[in-house]
Structure 1
């Protein structure tokens, strides 16, 4: 039950990076702005190259383009607010605005987790399923309909979890304090202002985190156990090298993504809000840029296609 005689809160205030002096905030602002623009540009390049080159109209690049769209939406939901926090000491946001920001943030974050899981399954099918008698086995399993269903399933899970979480948390009454020690609407910071018992809400949050993170992480792990087992059976050293190279970029992105996400959502409560913010900066600024760079722009086929698109390299 809400506490009696409480002062209802109608908006929140972001503490952001106000603990830093202004002259210490200018450099991070420029750095984060440049990284944000690079993230938007690199994802736009990937989408353009994939759309304009028929050779990339395959399941792997389809999922990569969906991930690029999701990463772009994710950064748009968070980074502009963070950049704004670097320019002004404190900023306010209404409770509905906070709920909206958190809804989109969580939707795309969970969607990214399950898209990475789907891409792990795609690598599993590529490496473990091809048979000499069925050279097109991969395209039979990962047909257009299957790809759309897998991508739609990831989006649906993200939307469902976001709806449940937002409905659960923002149905609480908020009172007494409204200073969020973060640069966006972080769920743990928000629940501190609730005037009612949050035990059940925190349990729901934990279940959601376990479902979104642990389930997808376990399925990725199972995929890679089967992949590694298959690769080790390959007689040719060159064949093993190519198979490992196929998975290396995806595995790099998965490790970084789940390390940061697990720290944010599964760690015990902490009083070190600055540490939480620094980890969140890594997760919201650097990880979205890592994905397109590692998975696409270091790919020779993508770089060659980009040069052809720009007219700087003749068609082979």
Structure 2
């Protein structure tokens, strides 16, 4: 590709997940299917929560925001990823920075939504008598405002640092999206500030939520073990199981991706990002719905209303 007179790259080529021709078509249909399931699952969960008043509780308020976030950041990544399987995937510098901004924004949002959900479970199990006060709608709304503010601050910090870079050593991104590590490898200016920003922003947005979730569940487990009724313990554990699975999947993949030596292979980066950008958003609606009686009741009621309307 011919570069401009200022030798600065104006467009990038996303290589995609794999360059093996035999895998392109099967992977296209696989990830297209995952994306469709993700859209249907998250939209379905959003609609159920909106239409059923008995789901208008703090727990489902956070779940609504989680589904919305999954819906958005999966849509930021997957459609562009699918293009790489069928043709050369060219993305302009402006589009690349826009994708990176929204990717960072929604990923950080997810970190703190999962944290808010852990605190909600702590309040429900450890302080049931004060739950209505502790998790009032005003408190929940303020928590979500804080979630989106943290996402915006983290995303804008990365973008400001990225816009100071000049890309003139090539325009081929060995990835299926505009992520920070592969972009830094293309820069012909110093990336020290960017690398420092990655460790600060990622460190804060992984460490703080992780510690909060760990402390919340330490207190939850301690409280559950003090319950004498086996049925009571089982019920308490069941309300936390889905959240623990979602947290493990998301934070495990994110930590593996960013908090590791830069010498790690690009293929490892791609695989780890798939888990929290593509697979996670698809699984979350099912993780929170399969054993959830409230969601089952809401689904039956909604279907009955539509069938007999």
Considering the TM-score relative to the shorter chain, is it more than 0.5?
yes
Q: How far apart, in 2, do the equivalents of 1:270 and 1:27 lie?
A: 30
> Displacement of 1:214 after TM fit?
1.0
> Displacement of 1:7 after TM fit?
2.7
User: Given the alignment of the two structures, is residue 97 of structure 1 paired with residue 90 of structure 2, yes or no?
Assistant: no
Counterpart in the other structure of 1:153? 146
Gaps (5+ residues) in structure 2? none
User: Given the alignment of the two structures, is residue 31 of structure 1 paired with residue 53 of structure 2, yes or no?
Assistant: no
Counterpart in the other structure of 1:109? 107
Q: How far apart, in 1, do the equivalents of 2:174 and 2:263 lie?
A: 12
Q: How far apart, in 1, do the equivalents of 2:296 and 2:128 lie?
A: 27
Q: How far apart, in 1, do the equivalents of 2:59 and 2:32 lie?
A: 30
**Structure-to-structure mapping, 1:133-172, within 5 angstroms:** 137-172=130-165
Gaps (5+ residues) in structure 1? 132-136
Q: How far apart, in 2, do the equivalents of 1:297 and 1:56 lie?
A: 16
User: Given the alignment of the two structures, is residue 14 of structure 1 paired with residue 19 of structure 2, yes or no?
Assistant: no
Whether contact under 8 Å (1:6, 1:176) holds in the other structure is: no
Q: How far apart, in 2, do the equivalents of 1:285 and 1:181 lie?
A: 18
Which residue of the other structure, out of 207, 213, 237, is the alignment partner of 2:206?
A: 213
Counterpart in the other structure of 1:245? 238
Q: Deviations over 1:155-197 (max 9, x none)?
A: 1100111001110112111112111000100101111122211
Counterpart in the other structure of 1:129? 127
User: Given the alignment of the two structures, is residue 274 of structure 1 paired with residue 272 of structure 2, yes or no?
Assistant: no
Partner of 1:92, secondary structure, is strand
Counterpart in the other structure of 2:185? 192
Q: How far apart, in 1, do the equivalents of 2:128 and 2:264 lie?
A: 51
With 49-58 and 293-302 compared, the bigger mean Cα shift is at: 293-302
What do you get for the CA RMSD once the two structures are aligned?
A: 1.7
Counterpart in the other structure of 1:203? 196
Q: Deviations over 1:36-90 (max 9, x none)?
A: 11111111111111111111010000000011101100101000011111111x3
Whether contact under 8 Å (1:107, 1:159) holds in the other structure is: yes
